[in-house]
Chain A
């Protein structure tokens, strides 16, 4: 009985000691044998993504919507994607989205605190989605190598 009371008090008063701070895993697509999930790996914040069609047709572009708050400004913005199929590295993709000498996108140069809401058609840089489990780590870095977006995505295809 004593032990129960002590354990109860400790867990009630010190909840942080038993939980790990983690952002929730979001389901973006779950249809026709394809499941796509993502989790933010940015310690500061979560962000929102959706795309259609679900499941996507790889030969065509997908329409994505992304919403995130900038925690630093983006004079430069650099995208890196690493993909692992069933645990083995299969793809690495790098792309410069924003540079002071060439701003590709209208939101380049936006300031800390601004919300970026991007709606657009994007081509998937993958020839095929392999069967099984496909893990992607996606990062957007600014001119200070600061993480603007960090996401771990998982795709299951059956």
Chain B
């Protein structure tokens, strides 16, 4: 090896050092979305980078490694307001760890396995508001120093091994809004433990997933919470034990249900619900529970409820003679086993505004007017429920004069005879997605729905040739005809749209369209969004629209190869378009469009996915460079002109000089004469 070889080795070594240095600085923090906030997440860092500016207010340092926090760890970041130390393998937080962070409001310590937190670890921040100690291997509340946490609004102890609330009293709860003990090992709750929570008005308290055995009766007496969650807690205890402990409590929301992955509790009997008579509750959830001796007695202490959630509680009927449920406005009966809508006994709930029968597990027969007592009902959801209506819907919707939202999507075939929604003239939203419908022909089936704003007929096998289809829908703003086919695959004319002049959003994707005729959307002057994606369109026809101003168009996933520039030029500055997944031609036959595209990138919503079909398949249209015939010609002409001009100039100059030798009028001579004169 000679000197040259050693030089080469030297170059390689230097270069690798340079690259490693580059990689180091590349690994450090990037500026996050908000001003003065930095994201150093997941960089394998072992210390706070010196490069972070001292004015940093927000730092995400999660998924790094910081085994100890000393009083000097954060010495340089005195302006911090939000600090995220999720999963930093922190084991030790020593004294005065945050002494410089007087403005700190949010401290996230999720997923660190603490071995020690010093007494004055939190002494720096003046008003720490949100402290997250989720999954930090805590076994006792005494592990966390409470002295400097007087202003806390959020205190999250979720997913730890805390078995006693004994030291909760050392925490100031006056400002607490969220206190989370979910998924711990709390078995017993004593009155003295939770005495301090009487000061926390409007608290959200979470005991989800604790195997509660015993709550001292009246432990929560006079407490006024926003929500209390005892879901997934019923493995060990009888519900009556829990409810006795909650005697005298006032809470807006109470969750008593369970989960598919927690042990199945014993069946709920009317007796076990007696304790609810001594609790003030507005919203109650019994999700996934099983009821035994289900009767009107079960509802004895539920009379003041506003909202009842019986999702998947394995019921096939509601008792017909329930008394006193005059306040109930929301009833959720999703994923149960009703065979007939009449078995929901809704006459018991005259004040209902929201009824949900979604995801029923059996075929749900709906042939009668059994909802007619619900004169105040505004929202009815019967989607995904194997709904069997036969001829719909005059009889079925009888009495529902106040109905505003109706969802009967994802059901079996419906036959709509005459005026199906004669009983619900005030409808604002109607969703029939993926429910095949047959209509009787004569007039528009929706012609009495003058208030309707949203109509979803997606994949309903609707006959779009019926020009009266949209008759009467004078308020319609949103219309989806996705997945319905048009005669010959073409939208021939604008007849259908003459009735929906206020339409703003029109969805015609997956309609197997090959063409849209000129002026097809002419009546629609308020259009803001039109989706014709996933069709077989081969042409971008802007003449279908009256004007392309302030409009978003989706022409993605079609068969468009060439776009006439005079068509796309009609798009006004405030409009945007998607053209991705079209087999666009990237050769000189499409040159004018490509030029327009590259000059109007601000109008393109999906530039990354808008690529050439051929030639250059897969190349982004934004990156295409073409040299087409006329350009080459122009260059040749320019070059020739330049040559000609310079030749003429040279010839003229020579001529001038030859003349001056004879006539003395050369400019050079004239200049000399002038100088001599001055």
Cβ < 8 Å to A, chain B residues 136-162:
156, 158-159
CB of A102 within 8 Å of the partner chain: yes
Whether the pair A69, B5 counts as a contact (CB closer than 8 A) is: no
Stretch of A114-122, A127-135, A138-146 lying at the B interface: A114-122
Residue of A nearest to B16 (CB): A13
A25 to chain B, nearest CB (A): 23
> DSSP class of B's interface residues: helix, strand, loop or mixed?
loop
Stretch of A29-37, A54-62, A83-91, A104-112 lying at the B interface: A104-112
Give every chain A residue within 8 A of B5 (Cβ-Cβ): 2, 5
CB of B12 within 8 Å of the partner chain: yes
Residue of B nearest to A5 (CB): B9
Give every chain B residue within 8 A of A14 (Cβ-Cβ): 16, 19
Name A105's contact: one of B135, B159, B259, B334 (CB within 8 Å): B259
CB of A124 within 8 Å of the partner chain: no
Whether the pair A113, B261 counts as a contact (CB closer than 8 A) is: no
Cβ < 8 Å to B, chain A residues 5-29:
5-6, 9-10, 13-14
Bound together, the chains give a CA A1 to CA B2 distance in angstroms of 12
Whether the pair B86, A115 counts as a contact (CB closer than 8 A) is: no
Whether the pair B134, A114 counts as a contact (CB closer than 8 A) is: yes
Q: Which of A2, A106, A107 has the most CB of B within 10 A?
A: A106
Residue of A nearest to B159 (CB): A114
Indicate with 1 or 0, residue by residue over B271-293, a CB within 8 angstroms of chain A CB atoms. 00000000000000001100000
CB of B534 within 8 Å of the partner chain: no
Cβ < 8 Å to A, chain B residues 230-264:
232, 259-262
Whether the pair A6, B8 counts as a contact (CB closer than 8 A) is: yes
B185 to chain A, nearest CB (A): 14
CB of B209 within 8 Å of the partner chain: yes
Name A102's contact: one of B16, B108, B158, B287 (CB within 8 Å): B287
Residue of B nearest to A114 (CB): B135
Residue of A nearest to B208 (CB): A106
Whether the pair A105, B260 counts as a contact (CB closer than 8 A) is: yes
Give every chain B residue within 8 A of A107 (Cβ-Cβ): 261
Give every chain B residue within 8 A of A115 (Cβ-Cβ): 111, 135
CB of A103 within 8 Å of the partner chain: yes
Given known pairs A112-B86, A113-B135, the reply for A6 and B12 (CB within 8 Å) is yes
A11 to chain B, nearest CB (A): 11
B62 to chain A, nearest CB (A): 6
The size class of the interface chain B forms with chain A is 35 or more
Cβ < 8 Å to A, chain B residues 71-99:
86-87
Name A106's contact: one of B132, B261, B312 (CB within 8 Å): B261
Residue of B nearest to A10 (CB): B12
Give every chain A residue within 8 A of B208 (Cβ-Cβ): 106
B160 to chain A, nearest CB (A): 11
Bound together, the chains give a CA A1 to CA B9 distance in angstroms of 13
Whether the pair A1, B132 counts as a contact (CB closer than 8 A) is: no
Whether the pair A69, B87 counts as a contact (CB closer than 8 A) is: yes
Q: Which of B8, B19, B108, B110 has the most CB of A within 10 A?
A: B110
Whether the pair B9, A113 counts as a contact (CB closer than 8 A) is: no
Bound together, the chains give a CA A26 to CA B114 distance in angstroms of 31
Whether the pair A9, B12 counts as a contact (CB closer than 8 A) is: yes
CB of B489 within 8 Å of the partner chain: no
Whether the pair A111, B110 counts as a contact (CB closer than 8 A) is: yes
Bound together, the chains give a CA A10 to CA B16 distance in angstroms of 8
Bound together, the chains give a CA A9 to CA B6 distance in angstroms of 12
Indicate with 1 or 0, residue by residue over A30-66, a CB within 8 angstroms of chain B CB atoms. 0000000000000010000000000000000000000
Whether the pair B13, A13 counts as a contact (CB closer than 8 A) is: yes
Bound together, the chains give a CA A93 to CA B1 distance in angstroms of 64
Name B1's contact: one of A1, A69, A104 (CB within 8 Å): A1
Bound together, the chains give a CA A118 to CA B110 distance in angstroms of 19
Bound together, the chains give a CA A103 to CA B209 distance in angstroms of 13
Bound together, the chains give a CA A111 to CA B42 distance in angstroms of 17
Give every chain A residue within 8 A of B111 (Cβ-Cβ): 69, 113-115
Whether the pair A2, B12 counts as a contact (CB closer than 8 A) is: no
A44 to chain B, nearest CB (A): 7
Bound together, the chains give a CA A108 to CA B156 distance in angstroms of 16
Bound together, the chains give a CA A110 to CA B259 distance in angstroms of 14
Whether the pair A103, B259 counts as a contact (CB closer than 8 A) is: yes
Bound together, the chains give a CA A69 to CA B159 distance in angstroms of 13
Give every chain A residue within 8 A of B87 (Cβ-Cβ): 69, 113
Give every chain A residue within 8 A of B8 (Cβ-Cβ): 2, 6
Given known pairs A9-B9, A113-B110, the reply for A105 and B261 (CB within 8 Å) is yes
Give every chain A residue within 8 A of B312 (Cβ-Cβ): 102
Given known pairs A13-B12, A13-B16, the reply for A104 and B135 (CB within 8 Å) is no
CB of B360 within 8 Å of the partner chain: no
Whether the pair B13, A9 counts as a contact (CB closer than 8 A) is: yes
Bound together, the chains give a CA A36 to CA B334 distance in angstroms of 37
Give every chain B residue within 8 A of A13 (Cβ-Cβ): 12-13, 16
Bound together, the chains give a CA A120 to CA B12 distance in angstroms of 55
Give every chain A residue within 8 A of B63 (Cβ-Cβ): 113
Residue of B nearest to A103 (CB): B259
Given known pairs A111-B132, A113-B111, the reply for A106 and B9 (CB within 8 Å) is no
B260 to chain A, nearest CB (A): 5
CB of B311 within 8 Å of the partner chain: yes
Residue of B nearest to A118 (CB): B261
CB of B183 within 8 Å of the partner chain: yes
Bound together, the chains give a CA A13 to CA B16 distance in angstroms of 6
Give every chain B residue within 8 A of A9 (Cβ-Cβ): 9, 12-13, 16
Known: A1-B1, A113-B62, A114-B135. 5 other contacts (CB 8 A): A6-B8, A13-B13, A102-B312, A106-B209, A113-B63
Which 9 A-B residue pairings sit nearest by Cβ, starting from the closest? A113-B86, A13-B16, A113-B111, A113-B110, A106-B259, A113-B87, A114-B135, A105-B261, A9-B12
12 residue pairs A–B, Cβ–Cβ below 8 Å = A2-B1, A13-B13, A105-B260, A106-B183, A106-B209, A108-B259, A111-B110, A111-B158, A113-B62, A113-B108, A114-B111, A114-B135
